Amino acid sequence: MSETDTESATVKMKTVHTMKSLIDSDGKWKWISLIFAVSTLFFLLMNISLLVIVLRGSHRLSSDSESIIADIEIRNLDDKDDVFSQLTFEEIDLVLKYLYSIESLRLTMPNETKIESSFIHTIELLSPPKKEVMEYLQNNGSKPNRRAKVYIFRGDISPPMIEEYVVGDLPNLSYGRIANVSSRHTRIPHIYRPFSTYEFMGIYKHVIARIGKEARHVLLESYNATTTNCGNQCLRFSMTPISSGYLQEGKRKAWFWFAYDVEFFTLHPVDFQFLVDMTSSQSSDWSIEQIWYANKLFPSLDNFLDEYKCGSINKTRLKFPEEATNLYSSLNTRQPPLSPLQRRAPIQIEPDGRRFSTAGNTVAYMSWKIRHRMSPTNGFQLFDISFDNEMIVYEMSLQEVIVIYSGYTPSARMLHYADGAGLFGTRHRGLLPGTDCPDNAKFIDVHLYSSNENGKRTYENSVCIFEHNNNSPLRRHRAYGRSGAFYGGLLDSVLVIRTIMSVINYDYVIDYIFHQNGIVETKVSLTGYLSTSFYFTEEEHYGGHLQKHIQAGLHNHLFNFKVDLDVKGTDNRFETLDIKPEFKQDPWNSRDHHQSKYEKHTRCTEQDAQYTYNFETPKYLLISNHNKSTEEGLSRSYRIKFSGISKMQLPSDYGFAKSISWSRHQVTVTKRKDEEDTSSSIFAMWDANDPVVNFKNYSEDNENIIDEDLVAWITLGTQHIPHKENMPNTLTAGSQLSFYLIPYNYFDEDPSMRSPDSVRIVPKDPKRPTEGAIVERGSGYKRTVCIPTKSKIDEFLAKNSTFIFT
């Protein structure tokens, strides 16, 4: 199905939805449908013309009729967004055609590919140089060329490699070469390869098939389940890759473990694990090295099978879990209900229609404007975040998500996960209206290329955008009393751009929240299923014993974000305001007095710009423009503030830690370089012996960072010691981590003073404040009654649930 087909289908669905919601309501609203007949006709006309435009192939138009109307009403967005936007399917086709024409690449067709062959893993836009983009956006410079960044698996060459190619310039491609950059490796040993469908095919064929055949009797006898021909009593395998930091040079190995294939398998591990050497690029060479069963380690599969036969092993006997609705791991609703009331939860409505608009990759809300793109490897990225048409952030994006587990069993203690290996972009999809995002949110589909998902693919409902109010004032004051009574307040309505990534068992909700006072909030909430292992008493200090056989390991979640702030241009400084105790004689008498004072500390070099949180030395962290000051001579700045940090406890030169050097500091400021695009890579789970992106190197040259273009790399985190209530699901509440970008002498006055949502109340007669008041509303609107539109999502899903389960 083509891109335009999908869009028109969505438009049709939503048109039907809008009109039906007006007509379908109960009898007493019939007269309203009559009144609305005229406007319905208008909607219909709008949608027909929209369909025509969409069918003509414009990929720029949003798929939602309401937002088109909002666009027309609110403002005309410029269309310079495509310097940032992801490659279109047409552009991807050009890249594919070009690369397949290069014979020396020996690219295989997807239906013939194996892990040992040459194939394209991902294709995406290579970010254009920032200088060129800035010239284009701000100085009428020429449009930067569009180029593709492509990862190609070269299992076919010796030694086997993964290669990063740059292919350009679109649309008339004339070169495709291995990227030549000095800040990351672009020819990567095959043993550091990220997850791929083709590797899993090799695993099924050469590893699981062997275990399933030779140990079938063990699995059946111990677990009453097996891996193949298992009916509805199957075992599933999971892979725990081992970082090269724990292996002999040149090796690739992984622990595998079995779990019952029920809802949900990560809470049903059995006590069967095995170590596989996957060093060879030929999957037929992979060998099963060790077996761990019933808390014992065996040096080989044959040895294990012999011992099992001789009866020298205490055999495990487990029952297949019964799929009861109250099975501890299932998400079925339990009884009795929390409330006997059959009433729906509150919802928010937009009484006068949507207040944000979207066009192409751009979103506009109040004075905010934001552009976005989805990269198959890096995931969701924001660009060119501006307020009052002035850029504040050039790029803001999640860089990496890691989880470091502890445990006793061989697999559990090696579980050091860098989620980027799973290709972030492809993990964003299937947001459910009404639960993941409000029903009235705008849902965005993205189009990406990844061999793990059969090449070109549309990911439905990957991103949602909505405005809502936090039901709390952003600011307010009530002055009361006989004189000078007034009230001034503003409800905190915000624009939220939300994505949710499901990476195997965990789900990460990532919100970028734009407040009306110039604050950008980034919030990560964690949910999903725990990763667990089979319980043995030796696990006691490594996690929570949550069910008879289930142990969930203690783990540390860490997240890294890139924030390329540009405060009034790119000549910025990193300053800290260091708050210190003072004990000094009072100038007004002879007493000694304790109080705090602060000193501004300009961080001159990259080594001096690595900030580690310390409770004893409180600080404000500022990105400032020294040349743009307030009338009082204070630099214009943005402040970085965070809540939700966690110490990375592995020694810095130990194993996996070398792949994640960003995790040592809560904020690291570096001089911005196009080459130093990311703090991590899709290889981080494996590459500790020689990290492909070695973040530590970014600061190693210790460059001067005064009045330079700067990037702040921000690390959030949380330790998690699992407990009963984390089953079946872990909860977002209590697990939220945030950082804020807060204007600090950036504006001369809080810009939310201009909000149309402002309310001011003054007495009619200041001398008699209780005898009537005048209510002033910024927008001058009158309060009216309105009807929420009825959601049709459940009916829609009953017929077609493609978007949520693909």
Ligand X SMILES: *[C@@H]1O[C@H](CO)[C@@H](O)[C@H](O)[C@H]1NC(C)=O
Burial of 477 (0-12, 13-18, 19+ CB in 10 A): exposed
Residues 29-88 interacting with ligand X (rule: CB under 6 A): none
Which entry of ligand X, Cu ion, none binds 224, CB below 5 to 8 A by partner kind?
ligand X
Q: Does the active-site annotation cover 592? A: no
Nearest C-alpha neighbor of 46 from the set 73, 65, 20, 18: 65
Which entry of ligand X, Cu ion, none binds 319, CB below 5 to 8 A by partner kind?
ligand X
Q: State how far the Cα of 378 lies from the Cα of 123, in Å rounded to an integer.
A: 12
Q: Tokens standing for 97?
A: 């055609």
Q: Among the candidate windows 178-186, 257-265, 389-397, 480-488, which touches ligand X by CB under 6 A?
A: 178-186
Q: State how far the Cα of 643 lies from the Cα of 645, in Å rounded to an integer.
A: 6
Q: Does 515 bind ligand X (CB under 6 A)?
A: no
Q: Does 183 bind ligand X (CB under 6 A)?
A: yes
Cis peptide before 264 (omega within 30 of 0): yes
Cβ atoms < 10 Å from Cβ of 735? 17
Judged by the rule CB under 5 A, the positions of this chain that interact with Cu ion are 720
Amino acid at 782: K
Of the pair 284, 800, the CB lying nearest ligand X is at: 800
Smallest gap from residue 549 Cβ to ligand X (A): 15
Smallest gap from residue 172 Cβ to ligand X (A): 4
Which of 200, 246, 320, 328 forms a contact with ligand X (CB under 6 A)? 320
Which entry of ligand X, Cu ion, none binds 803, CB below 5 to 8 A by partner kind?
ligand X
* CB-based contact 730:332 (threshold 8 Å): no
The catalytic residue among 419, 439, 507, 709 is 419
Q: Does the active-site annotation cover 506? A: yes
Which of 158, 174, 180, 483 forms a contact with ligand X (CB under 6 A)? 180
Which of 49, 76, 228, 314 forms a contact with ligand X (CB under 6 A)? 314
Which of 627, 630, 702, 704 forms a contact with ligand X (CB under 6 A)? 627
Binding mask 158-177 for ligand X (x = CB under 6 A): --------------x-----
Smallest gap from residue 102 Cβ to ligand X (A): 16
Residue whose tokens read 């400084």: 573
Of the pair 183, 316, the CB lying nearest ligand X is at: 183
Q: Among the candidate windows 181-189, 234-242, 261-269, 398-406, which touches ligand X by CB under 6 A?
A: 181-189
Q: State how far the Cα of 401 lies from the Cα of 421, in Å rounded to an integer.
A: 10
Q: State how far the Cα of 562 lies from the Cα of 398, in Å rounded to an integer.
A: 6
The catalytic residue among 223, 394, 449, 506 is 506
Smallest gap from residue 663 Cβ to Cu ion (A): 16
Of the pair 258, 529, the CB lying nearest ligand X is at: 258
Q: Does 140 bind ligand X (CB under 6 A)?
A: yes
Smallest gap from residue 200 Cβ to ligand X (A): 19
Of the pair 427, 720, the CB lying nearest Cu ion is at: 720
Which entry of Cu ion, ligand X, none binds 2, CB below 5 to 8 A by partner kind?
none
Binding mask 99-128 for ligand X (x = CB under 6 A): ----------x-xx----------------
Q: Between the CA atoms of 334, 340, 345 and 346, what dihedral angle is there, to the nearest 10 degrees?
A: -160
Q: Does 602 bind ligand X (CB under 6 A)?
A: no
Cβ atoms < 10 Å from Cβ of 317? 9
Q: Is 615 left (phi over 0), alpha (psi -120 to 50) or beta?
A: alpha
Nearest C-alpha neighbor of 374 from the set 673, 695, 796, 88: 88
Which of 535, 561, 739, 803 forms a contact with ligand X (CB under 6 A)? 803
Q: State how far the Cα of 668 lies from the Cα of 665, in Å rounded to an integer.
A: 6
Amino acid at 744: Y
Query: Which contiguous run of DSSP H or E holds residue 37?
Result: helix 30-55
Q: Does 470 bind ligand X (CB under 6 A)?
A: no
Nearest C-alpha neighbor of 122 from the set 197, 36, 46: 197
Residue whose tokens read 């290329």: 449
Q: Does 460 bind ligand X (CB under 6 A)?
A: yes
From residue 637, give the alpha-carbon distance in Å to each of 123, 566, 643.
Answer: 37, 10, 20
Q: Does 2 bind ligand X (CB under 6 A)?
A: no
Which entry of ligand X, Cu ion, none binds 800, CB below 5 to 8 A by partner kind?
ligand X
Q: State how far the Cα of 99 lies from the Cα of 113, in Å rounded to an integer.
A: 16
Smallest gap from residue 599 Cβ to Cu ion (A): 39
From residue 250, give the alpha-carbon distance in Å to each of 151, 207, 583, 680.
Answer: 21, 21, 59, 21
Which entry of Cu ion, ligand X, none binds 694, CB below 5 to 8 A by partner kind?
ligand X
Q: Does 184 bind ligand X (CB under 6 A)?
A: yes
Smallest gap from residue 268 Cβ to ligand X (A): 15
Residues 698-737 interacting with ligand X (rule: CB under 6 A): 707
Q: Tokens standing for 267?
A: 């809470």
3-state secondary structure of 114: coil
Cβ atoms < 10 Å from Cβ of 163? 19
Smallest gap from residue 2 Cβ to ligand X (A): 10
Of the pair 95, 519, the CB lying nearest ligand X is at: 95
Residues of the chain by 3-state class (helix, strand, coil), percent to 5: 25, 35, 40
Of the pair 92, 396, the CB lying nearest ligand X is at: 92
Size of the site for ligand X (CB under 6 A): 24
Which entry of ligand X, Cu ion, none binds 720, CB below 5 to 8 A by partner kind?
Cu ion
Which entry of ligand X, Cu ion, none binds 320, CB below 5 to 8 A by partner kind?
ligand X
Q: State how far the Cα of 104 lies from the Cα of 118, in Å rounded to an integer.
A: 10
Q: State how far the Cα of 186 lies from the Cα of 683, in Å rounded to an integer.
A: 11
169 Cβ neighbours under 8 A, 6+ residues apart? 145, 146, 147
Which of 132, 156, 263, 571 forms a contact with ligand X (CB under 6 A)? 571
* Residue ranges that bind ligand X, judged by CB under 6 A: 1, 109, 111-112, 140, 172, 180, 183-185, 224, 312, 314, 319-320, 460, 571, 627, 694, 697, 707, 800, 802-803
Question: What is the set of active-site residues?
Answer: 419, 506
